Structure 1
């Protein structure tokens, strides 16, 4: 049934037909049920103020896109918004959005909200949500669980001006390369108020190692990632919650980090081609870090070719659960106004509640201290 550019669909065939016929301002409402994955659509383009919307007809009973090499693959879309769909069991990627290899014309103005993506792969470099050459996008209130053993919950290659917020990422500490990865010339990305529960070996991999032909823009700009902000997040576990890898400027602030398994931060340079700057200009400030000292190999792992001496550590709150006297971290530079050895007084960390009790000495730091006014635009 169609009314005012709304199309209700209840089969895979109807969904594909509606997508192929969609025009700016169209809304496709997907009825509850299970739909076979492997849905591939090129050039799905809305317009400013007239996006193409794909949404659950009943958000309380979202449709399930099951299986397929990829649950949904959009090539060169623009002004497309997807709400409240579930993707399960794709063998490569749950949701894949890219620019079709036309690097000068990125996919753009994309909204992914309320999606659930689960059980992707499972072996190899398989991603929950894969974004390549996507600009001006929002990923909000999504849940991604169990992606590929060498993949990411969200993998961004050559993406710009994006926000990832209010999402939950779950896997294991030493399976899954990363929770959120932003690389390949990506810039101006904010990762805000998400929850990373054992979200792979590197919960947030700021940068990475990208084959030169996949950088956007071309020629490669000399960095994997630039102007990245990670703020207001909760991290539980992971071998390293935060990694700066081939970065030219990133801010990690007002996060709560609980029981990392090997390192708190890694500063690495994995791309060694000529013309690439060494990893530099990272800022790690106003975070709460609670750890078991016997689990930490070293607080900050620095690899060859990086420039840790021009990183900044300031106003962080460090607490070793097993021995508060061992709370003082080993950092590559002196910290400004750090706090060491005091219990931050979480409400109930065993149940995952990392808000602070009244009178906490960590007040003003950590994930719940990030105010709307302080949030990056």
Structure 2
């Protein structure tokens, strides 16, 4: 096996290096404006030896400028690939910034880090990061995405092309026409991925604070169900430590399937915070706990399909809303009246402010032990007490 190599390239010659990249190689891109896109096809690194394409100087990231009729970063049949410290400027052309293309057979173990994606907002259909083929083991970390049609869109509208075992963390997604993040429902899963996988969504900022109501209104985040039977049917989404901010006409989070939602902060001065409801199927077993919610509409709403046998537990949340809780198996929650003045409180101070006037209420030891099995949750003596540290990690991780 040839030794891994480092290559340096600039705006004129960088495409000459793309097909020669082997496991462990790095392509270091000099500062400048790159106008011919980044088409990556039939490239495979190895576990522990990915192919890396990144800025030669992280303080001066190369700027890829969108071109008509071509997605800027195009992924086709690639594995173990890392892209980091790049700027993707859409110029509001009707293209995507990063796309695993629909004619690709796979795009596995892709890591996207420290990308600045902006101005892909010709329509809601233009996406910052999108997959339209089976995608396994993605890590999408510490990216800034703003002024786009949709921030991230994983999967396909018909439930094909599953997104499996991903980690989405430390991103800041703002100023989207539609979703900040959508992961589509999954109809089936290849036997190649027969184990159970969690997709982790943590320490992100999802904001539609300046969005306008209208036909393009969407929740900040929408999570569809995993396969209903067979391979993948036991998979879960773990959603924790995130900050959800404002939406003019939809909820901040809408989910179905198998989900755990905990240690998040939800702030919506224009409506609802969390909606658990049928979309392409029904809500299945899920836990919603240790969140802080401030909403001018409904704080946490659970709509279960009639006759369904699944459990949706709503436990140990702090909810200040016009209608704090509706539906679900609720226990040990602290509910308060909605106070619009609290919208102006510093986010990291919100949970302590809500708890300040309330007597301490210890959770049952058995419940604490059960919830402590979830990653990132270390137990709490009273509802919501673990939210503030998680939020501080979110704000630190999401700094541009």
Under TM normalisation by the shorter chain, which class is it? 0.7 to 0.9
Q: Among residues 272, 275, 287, which one is paired with 1:283 in the alignment?
A: 287
* CA distance in structure 1 between the aligned counterparts of 2:49 and 2:18, rounded to whole angstroms: 15
Check if 1:338 corresponds to 2:338.
no
Contact 1:67–1:88 (8 Å) recurs in 2? yes
Per-residue CA shift, 1:127-174, capped at 9, x if unaligned? 1101241111211100111222xxx311111111110101101015xx
Cα displacement (A) at 1:337: 0.2
Gaps of 5+ in 1: 209-214, 272-276, 321-325, 373-377
Q: Among residues 207, 221, 224, which one is paired with 1:207 in the alignment?
A: 224
Contact 2:206–2:245 (8 Å) recurs in 1? yes
* CA distance in structure 2 between the aligned counterparts of 1:37 and 1:308, rounded to whole angstroms: 53
Gaps of 5+ in 2: 156-161, 190-196, 210-216, 359-382, 394-400
Cα displacement (A) at 1:14: 1.8
* CA distance in structure 2 between the aligned counterparts of 1:43 and 1:305, rounded to whole angstroms: 48
- For 1:17, what is the secondary structure of its paired residue? helix
Contact 1:207–1:225 (8 Å) recurs in 2? no
Q: Among residues 240, 250, 254, which one is paired with 1:243 in the alignment?
A: 254
Cα displacement (A) at 1:366: 2.3
Q: Give the TM-score, by structure 2 length.
A: 0.73
**Which structure dedicates a bigger proportion of its chain to strand?**
1
Q: Among residues 160, 170, 175, which one is paired with 1:171 in the alignment?
A: 175
Q: 1:160 to 1:48 in 2, by over 3 A?
A: same
Contact 1:309–1:333 (8 Å) recurs in 2? no
Structural mapping, 1:1-377, within 5 Å:
5-11=5-11, 13-68=12-67, 69-89=70-90, 90-98=93-101, 100-102=103-105, 106-131=106-131, 132-148=133-149, 152-157=150-155, 158-171=162-175, 175-176=177-178, 178-185=179-186, 188-198=198-208, 201-207=218-224, 226-238=235-247, 239-245=250-256, 247=257, 249-259=258-268, 261-271=270-280, 278-292=282-296, 296=297, 299-300=300-301, 302=303, 307=308, 310-320=311-321, 326=322, 329-341=324-336, 349=344, 352-354=347-349, 360=356, 364-366=385-387, 368-369=389-390
> What is the number of equivalent residue pairs in this alignment?
335
- For 1:19, what is the secondary structure of its paired residue? helix
Cα displacement (A) at 1:59: 0.7
Per-residue CA shift, 1:7-33, capped at 9, x if unaligned? 11111x522211111111110011111
Q: CA RMSD in A?
A: 3.4
Q: Give the TM-score, by structure 1 length.
A: 0.78
Cα displacement (A) at 1:184: 3.7
